Amino acid sequence: MNPKDPDEDSWVFTIRKGKEKDKSLDEIRKYISTKFGTNTVETREKWAVDHQDGVMWFYLKCEIGSVREIMGKWNETILSFSSMKDEFKRGEDIVSGVSMDFLNNINMTADKLGAKVKNKRTPEAYWSPRELCMISQNPGNDISDRCKYHTDHTMGAGVIFYVIDTSFAIHHKDFEEIDWGESSDHIFTSSEDRLPSKDKTKNPDFKIDAKDRAEDPAKYQLTQKHLKHGTFVLSKVVGERYGIAPNAKAVLVKVTNRELEFTAKFCIEALELTYKHIQLRIAKLTEKEKEDLRIILVFSIGIFYEGNHPESIMEKERLINIVRALSNLPYVAFVTATGNKSDPQFNLPPHLTYTKTLKSIPTGTNKVLQEYLDSYQRTEVSDHPPILGANEKEFPNLIIVGGVISDADFFGRGIFQTADFVRVSAPAYKVQVALNYGGLEYSGNEYTGMSGTSLAAPAVAGVLAVLISAHGYTIEEAKDKLYSLAYSRARDGDDTSLYPPVVYNGMGQPPKSDSESSDPIIASHPQTDIDDHPDLCIIRRRRLVRRARGGVTEETVSVNNCRGTPTATFAHITPPPPVVYNETLCQMCLRASGTAAIDGVMWIVDDCPCRSREPPKPTG
């Protein structure tokens, strides 16, 4: 903490209604006194209650790591938390128009921005990347470059990820709030491997010295590539700045050896070790703990088998068997990506990544990019394990994720490989991720925009985790909800076959006609930091419109979280408008399942303007 700014790390926690006399409050007080002491002058601990409305809250001065720990342990008791800073007591002009439930802990300190800004900041500094906004884009809403990402405050708490990838730069600042534990908590294909030490002379991220770098630059570049890939994926899952589920626990599964060499056999062995690791974990659990277990595997790797060589056939069968075993575990979801290959008719290298195609754009030509877009749906999924998604009965919890573009020019358009069985896609173009510290090509940047379905898969896995932590879903329930919420971002005039269903977390703001509203349990995540956050008081507003045969009920509630006191509540009933059959609205309505507003209306499923109650048809 900075002694010059006594309020730098002061927080206000709002207690959920009905929990004002809960025993868990005593647990929280005991935790505070044990960890921070009983000197309230230093801890700034203060409890308050609004007797008129019964809203309770408390204040505490602590580090963000402790805030996350408190929210993780008592999220059923604590509704929200927010920072309190004198610097931002400067007026309504900053707070005005903000509609949020909770602060984002994606980006908790000032040095996590590309540049530190300690003085007044423009509103543009608080917008989220488009790919994040897309994930929380409510049907009927459009997004611009100035948008905000919304999610639930639990952010994956209680869910366990097994991130199965090439390697991980775990000492990147994007993961500095994570306690990685011991090497034995993770999985390595090499018996000599272990978690890297911060001291690079003892145990670096990978074993390669200056001599190797000079004599074999190609090998060095390959090791850098493998280190980057796993770091990208990990940051998209649990990273502080852009991660979807930063409150989840991550088990690292490294599929390369100590020198970061990579083979298909290493991948298969890593999956087999993952299965054994899960079984050992289960053996130590009580029956109740087994019921609560939620595991998500993230495998952004594709293995292509060609020909009838006996060894390849045996290896492929071994891979299929372990994927089948993992995807049939009721408490495990196996999330993987479609792949990045292009249609050979366009004369592009078969493994050309989308990032490389972008090199043509600065020169003024868009030809390669357009050809790559045109190859969509002409390049079927060909790698394992994603190709196994065609058999959902045999691989029930295998989720195959395709890629789309979040840029305005091709917003929501599919790219890379796909197939009829791909039921959900996510942004896979210029996705912001953490970059390991190795490469002049990135000018020393710690974050960068990368492309590929390898980044779409962890985004969907993160949304799956948030659905679980927010609603207590089982794996099967969360998977079904994930599919039902996904919807195409096609606009009028677009070829809908090129716009697949895109992941939606169900927590976006209603359409702009209700711009002062938000769902009652969402959390807004602008890409900002706690130290410079402008929202001294977080305004929570909602406007819900429910349509039923008896009429339309509209309710508006506005809550100021600094005092936790509702400022206005009203409801009225008006006659419902006539229902006219509308196929597009019908499909959106059925997919929303009564959980997301469409044009400001929360439809009851039975009232959807459909001719029948058939399930929604795929849009792509």
Please identify which of the residues 101, 152, 165, 535 carries the catalytic annotation.
Answer: 165
Clarify whether 471 is annotated catalytic: no
Rounded-to-integer distance, Cα 7 and Cα 11, Å: 9
- Asked if 262 and 164 count as a contact pair (C-beta separation under 8 A), the reply is no
Rounded-to-integer distance, Cα 446 and Cα 311, Å: 41
The two three-digit tokens of residue 396, written as one number? 């029930």
Please identify which of the residues 300, 342, 454, 469 carries the catalytic annotation.
Answer: 454
Within 10 angstroms of residue 215's Cβ, the number of other Cβ atoms is: 9
Amino acid, res. 2: N
Clarify whether 529 is annotated catalytic: no
Clarify whether 165 is annotated catalytic: yes
The two three-digit tokens of residue 272, written as one number? 């087999």
Instruction: Tokens 């000197």: give the residue.
Output: 39
- Asked if 371 and 335 count as a contact pair (C-beta separation under 8 A), the reply is no
The two three-digit tokens of residue 458, written as one number? 């962890």
Within 10 angstroms of residue 492's Cβ, the number of other Cβ atoms is: 5
Within 10 angstroms of residue 18's Cβ, the number of other Cβ atoms is: 9
Rounded-to-integer distance, Cα 332 and Cα 570, Å: 44
Q: Which residues of 154-168 are buried (b: 16+ CB within 10 A; e: fewer)?
A: bbbbbbbbbbbbbbb
Within 10 angstroms of residue 65's Cβ, the number of other Cβ atoms is: 13
Please identify which of the residues 172, 229, 525, 533 carries the catalytic annotation.
Answer: 229
Rounded-to-integer distance, Cα 221 and Cα 382, Å: 27
Bridge partner list, 464: none
**What is the distance in angstroms between the CA of the first residue and the CA of the last residue of the chain?**
51
- 260 burial (CB, 10 Å; 0-12 / 13-18 / 19+) is buried
Amino acid, res. 7: D
- E strands along 224-289, which residues? 249-254
> Which residues are identified as catalytic?
165, 229, 454
